[in-house]
Amino acid sequence: METEDLMRLTYLGILSAALIGWALVEYRGRLGAGMRMMMAWGAIFVAVAAGYGLWNDIRGRETGRLMVDDQGRIELPMAQDGHYYATLEIGGTMVDFMIDTGASDVVLNRAAAERLGFDLATLDYSGQAFTANGAVRTARVFLDDVSLGPYDDQRITAYVNDGELDIPLLGMDYLRRYRIEMAGNRMILSR
């Protein structure tokens, strides 16, 4: 156990002892009522903590919900987390991406690369990308049969990230194929 963890545990122990001591003094003639109240507050605390911890799972991530108008413009709504997401079909496999105009390239996480049929053990991780979390190794791959809405592309260069990445990123190497507009909380892509 690290020193920081030990200090937190000590703090929680002192806080718990103080609360239990207060409850015993406050409810000394009516211990049953005090226990019921403590159990009710404990249940409320656990419910709030569980809701907070599971909030992203409860609300879900809005991925891939796009609309195509009669002019072929793709409209992507802003998700609740402030990002834009799109689902691309790559060789018949649906892959969710976060649109990242700050990323230079299309970046796949390991899970998406495996779903697309790439053998991670045989990839050549000779590239390097510099992220907010530091440098990571990358392997260049090519994606065939890439579709976003009504648009199809062939031989898209992508990089498999050997580091930690929650969701693949759709960077500018792909996005520059489109005209990008921002309208309120919508991103509009057109060709």
Q: What phi and psi values does residue 64 have, to the nearest 5 degrees?
A: 75, -5
pTM here is 0.65
Rg, C-alpha atoms of the chain: 25
Residue where a domain stops, chosen among 59, 82, 102: 59
Which pLDDT value is given to residue 162? 87
Q: Both 42 and 79 in a single domain?
A: no
Which pLDDT value is given to residue 57? 58
Q: Both 88 and 174 in a single domain?
A: yes
> Between residues 34 and 141, which one has the greater pLDDT?
141
Q: Both 19 and 101 in a single domain?
A: no
Which pLDDT value is given to residue 55? 65
Q: Both 185 and 107 in a single domain?
A: yes
What mean pLDDT comes out for the span 25-31? Answer: 80
Whether 61 shows a pLDDT value over 60: the answer reads: no
Whether 108 shows a pLDDT value over 90: the answer reads: yes
Residue 138 CA to residue 160 CA, distance in Å, equals 5
| Cβ contact 76:68 at 8 Å | no
Residue 49 CA to residue 61 CA, distance in Å, equals 20
Q: Both 121 and 147 in a single domain?
A: yes
Whether 143 shows a pLDDT value over 80: the answer reads: yes
Which pLDDT value is given to residue 1? 66
CATH number at residue 96: 2.40.70.10
Q: Both 44 and 74 in a single domain?
A: no
Which pLDDT value is given to residue 131? 76
Q: Both 33 and 90 in a single domain?
A: no
What mean pLDDT comes out for the span 137-147? Answer: 94
pLDDT by residue (tens digit) across 148-184? 989 999 999 999 998 888 899 999 999 999 999 999 8
Residue where a domain stops, chosen among 38, 59, 80: 59
Residue range(s) defining the domain that contains residue 20: 3-59
Position 38 confidence tier, pLDDT thresholds 50, 70, 90: confident
Structural domain count of the chain: 2
Which pLDDT value is given to residue 109? 93
Q: Both 52 and 97 in a single domain?
A: no
Report DSSP state, residue 183.
Answer: E
Find where tokens 């991530």 sit.
61
> Between residues 54 and 6, which one has the greater pLDDT?
6
Task: State the DSSP H helix or E strand holding residue 151, giving kind and residue range, or none if neither.
Answer: strand 151-153
Q: Which of 168, 94, 163, 160 is nearest to 134 (CA)?
A: 163
Q: Both 97 and 11 in a single domain?
A: no
Residue where a domain stops, chosen among 59, 78, 104: 59
Whether 14 shows a pLDDT value over 90: the answer reads: yes
